[in-house]
Amino acid sequence: MRHIGLKVRMAIVGAILFAFYSVAVAAAWFFFGQSQSILALAILGSVLLVGVQYKIGKWAALRSVGAEDMDEREYQQIHQFVEKVCRERDLKKPNLKIASMGVPNAFAVGRRGNGTVVVSRELIQLLDRDELEGVIAHELAHIDNRDVVTMQLGQGIASIVGIVAQYIVLFTGDNDLADFFLAIVVGNLVQFFVMLFVLAISRYREYVADADAKRIIGGGDPLARALEKIQQGNRNARDSEIDENVNALCIFGSNSGLLQKLVSTHPPTEKRIQRLRS
C-alpha cells in the first residue's frame, strides 16, 4: 500500500470528523425536536450541504483566480509532461488551467477521476522547465493521493458542526442581540477546533506530495529550487489574487509567526526544501 502513513492519518481524521458530525446531528435532533423526521431531515440536510460545498468549493476556487483552459498548442510541453506522468501512474489526465494570480503558485482541486490543476502565469514565467515539472508533479500527486477531497470534505463537516453550535446557542438562550453575537463566536470557535484536525493532515500531505514529485522527476533539487523561487516571489509580490480558502490548496502557503505556524495549511518551506535535498 502506497503512503500508508497518509492513509492512516486520513482514516483517523476521517473517524474524528465523523464523530463530530454524529454529535452535531444528535444535538440537532435533541434540541430541535426528538422525532424520526427531524433526525432524517438533519442527516439529509447535512449531507446535501457537504456535497454542495464540495461542488461549489471547486467552482469557487477556479473562479476566484479567473482560471482559463491551458491551450495545448501554446503550452505543449506542459501537456506532454502531464500525459506522461498520468500514463505512468494510471491516472486520468486532469484538466489543465492557467490563471493570473498575482504571485507564482499552483493548486489542484477535484478527485482522482475528475481533477483540475491550475498554474499561474507568474509561475511559468519564473521557473525553469525542470522546476515547473516538479511543481506540476507535486499537484498531480495530490490528486492521485485523493487528499484534496479529504481537505474539502473536512472543511464541509467543520462548517456543519459550527452551524449547529450557533443554533444551539441561539435556541437555548434568550434569542437577543447578545446571544446572536455569542452564537457567532461559539460557532467560529467550534469550527476552528474541528479544522485543527484537517490542518494536521494538510501539512503532512504536502510532505507526501513533495516525496512523490521527487520520485516522478528523478530528484528533489528541481522542486527545492522551485520552492525557493516561489517563496521569494511571494515575498516580493504586492498583490495576490488568491483568497484564504484557495491558499490552503496551493503548493506554497504563508506560515510566518507562531500562531500561523500552528494553524498553517503548509509545513515550513525550509523543512520541505531540506527533505527534498536529503
Span 200-216, mean pLDDT?
90
Span 145-162, mean pLDDT?
83
Instruction: At 267, list the grid cell.
Output: 509545513
Beginning with the edge strand found earlier in the chain, give each strand of the sheet holding 106-111 in spatial order: 68-69, 95-99, 114-120, 106-111
Where does the pLDDT of residue 267 fall: very low under 50, low under 70, confident under 90, or very high at 90 and above? Answer: confident
Instruction: At 136, list the grid cell.
Output: 506540476
Residue 252's identity, in one-letter code, is F
Span 167-188, mean pLDDT?
82
* Residue count of the chain: 278
Q: 3-class SS at 86? A: helix
Which of 139, 206, 241, 244 is the catalytic position? Answer: 139
Find out whether 17 and 154 touch, Cβ atoms under 8 Å.
yes
Residue 26's identity, in one-letter code, is A
Spatial CA neighbour of 218 closest among 276, 266, 259: 276
What per-residue confidence (pLDDT) applies to 53?
A: 73
Domain ranges of the chain: 1-278
Say if strands 114-120 and 95-99 run parallel, antiparallel, or are unpaired.
parallel
What per-residue confidence (pLDDT) applies to 112?
A: 87
DSSP 250: B
Percent of the chain at pLDDT > 90 equals 37
Taken in order 224, 253, 102, 99, the sign of the CA dihedral is: positive
Instruction: At 217, list the grid cell.
Output: 522527476
Indicate whether this model's pTM tops 0.85.
no
Q: For 79-126, what is each residue's pLDDT tens digit?
A: 999 999 999 999 999 999 999 988 899 999 988 888 999 999 999 999
* DSSP secondary structure, 187-208, as one string: HHHHHHHHHHHHHHHHHHHHHH
Find out whether 126 and 105 touch, Cβ atoms under 8 Å.
no
Taken in order 56, 60, 61, 66, the sign of the CA dihedral is: positive
Instruction: At 100, list the grid cell.
Output: 493570473
Q: Among this protein's residues, is 244 annotated catalytic?
A: no
Where does the pLDDT of residue 243 fall: very low under 50, low under 70, confident under 90, or very high at 90 and above? Answer: low
Which of 20-34, 177-191, 254-268 shows the lowest mean pLDDT across its residues?
Answer: 254-268
What per-residue confidence (pLDDT) applies to 242?
A: 58
Asked if pLDDT for residue 180 goes beyond 80, the answer is: yes
- Decide which of 77 and 15 is more confident: 77
Asked if pLDDT for residue 138 goes beyond 60, the answer is: yes
CA atoms of 106 and 99, how far apart (whole Å): 9
